[in-house]
Structure 1
């Protein structure tokens, strides 16, 4: 099963996983951090990906919502997000 795909489209961060496509305006992102808890510290976060014991967790906090990404490709996803925010 393919993992989470992160791209930058215009001034938005696009997160794709399975049939879902989530667009987050770059100007809305407050912080991007790693979350070392199993289910995520943010109880109301939208969870994206398969939560398994060995996956990494990335929390994207925006002005309106939090997104918790479960991934095995943490470095690549963090690099893409940080690059989009710097170059956005």
Structure 2
């Protein structure tokens, strides 16, 4: 698997990158947005993916932690997470 894989599985968002797998309950997601900074605005965020100057950053804020996804396919990731949030 190359890059980031983001899918909705049951009531969770499952993020896979290389040997990392993170499961975020949809009910815990507060907001999803693009982050236009290089390393991400949140200093304590969990960073997933490879940060390059040309990658986009998707910021996911949950009830107890923040995530920054480095991706070249932000549209698909945002659509997957947004549709999961709307369906809850």
TM-score, normalization by structure 2 = 0.96
Pairwise CA distance, 1:20: 0.8
Structure 2 equivalent of residue 65 of structure 1: 65
How far is the alpha carbon of 1:58 from its aligned partner?
0.5
The aligned runs of 1:3-82 (5 Å cut-off) are 3-82=3-82
Q: Report how far residue 83 of structure 1 moved.
A: 1.1
Distance 2:3 2:15 in 1: 11
Counterparts of 2:87 and 2:21, CA distance in 1 = 22
Q: TM-score scaled by structure 1?
A: 0.96
Alignment length, in residue pairs? 88
Aligned to 1:87: 87
The SS at the match of 1:39 is coil
> How far apart in 1 are the matches of 2:69 and 2:8?
16
Rounded Cα–Cα distance in structure 2 between residues aligned with 1:17 and 1:36:
21
Question: 1:9 Cα shift?
Answer: 1.1
